[in-house]
Structure 1
Amino acid sequence: MDRQKVSAFLGRHGLARSKRLERVRACSTETSGSTAEVKPERTILTSLPELKTDRKLRVLSGVQPTGTLHLGNYLGAVQQWVKNQDKFDNFFTIVDLHAITLPHDPKALRESSMTTAALYLACGLDPKTSSIFLQSHVPAHAELTWLLNCATPIGWLERMVQYKEKARKAGENVSVGLLDYPVLMAADILLYQADLVPVGDDQNQHLELARNIRGRFKNLYDKRGKRR
């Protein structure tokens, strides 16, 4: 399948904003987990405790657009997505907004994003049962991130271990986007009200931060329409 055909196919089946994506609510009081680049060594399935529902559980997962999927990625993540896609309400995203928190060539990033999406399909993900989309094609990710930013103390973000490590390497060139990376993660999850979120086992601190942000936002604004 050439690149133009891949682009047209993905536009029809998830990369373009769909009615399904437009219907999701902006916040959730029952969401747990975080999206991030899936680590090949191990994947944790984070779920809500004692969740009882007659509907299909919603799964949200995403990988950064590297343009390649090695065996570890496939065995650790994509193979499980394909195997279980008929059992869940699936949202699989290419998290290109997360990717640009570090320097990338724009043209190369676009190419790798399309290639990663094509590889999703080649591995067996079915657009009839799964929403497959680019994170940046859904404006609500950035919009909700800003709302959460305004409720998140900066000290919470400065304590993130991954930020400290990457900031140390980047020096004066460290971006605000890198600091804000975990808030975007929280927005990803809350936006889709995910029940199950496969995350890399290095994301525990970001996962806890997402819970804290959710709780703080609810405490600030969920007062029968009156701000505390």
Structure 2
Amino acid sequence: MKGMHSILAAFALLAFACSLASAFDTSPLHDFCVAINNTEDGVFVNGNFCKDPRLTVADDFFYSGLNKPGNTSNLVGSNVTAVNVDQIPGLNTLDISMVRIDYAPYGGLNPPHTHPRGTEILVVVEGTLYVGFVTSNPENRLFTKVLYPGDVFVFPIGLIHFQFNIGETKSVAFAGLSSQNAGAITIADSVFGSNPTINPNVLTKAFQLDKTAVTYLQSRFGSG
């Protein structure tokens, strides 16, 4: 009898867990949920308030401008033009967005970074890119590829990745991301340019660098 009670208890716990799981639906329950800033009449869903569907218009799903090259005259020689929920309110709850990335001739770099909330699929439309990503600890395996126009490469969610223009002309790529706002954490900016700055002793030990090198990097990446 004791064994039967244990089995019944296990089934009861399983049923309770299943009921909790079925109570959460990750898929949209409406055709769309256009993001708005007006909190008076909106309904808060996944980081944004939603417009009354009856007031939705075509422009809520529209963006113009990805045909325009980005300015690559900066220290890394690249420019990312994002099209996420901030540019297209209709992307809210649809788990998708995209970017255009422009790279200066030889040396244009989209520095090592991660997207904490999205996988990225990138297609090259102009130029030649050396791209790669690194797997998580402890393997830290590096996967790299040289891409030409028409080539596609995938960067799994959360993993550090980069793109580097190895051609003599400018490069252009477009990427889709599996999030309405995938986020971006540029490694060097976050580590050496945090506000306030991370204690140099922490970075000296973490990166096995001389403290002078750490403070120099913090001066290069810091806002101050």
State the TM-score, normalizing by the size of structure 2. 0.25
Structure of higher CA gyration radius? 2
Higher strand share: 2
Higher helix share: 1
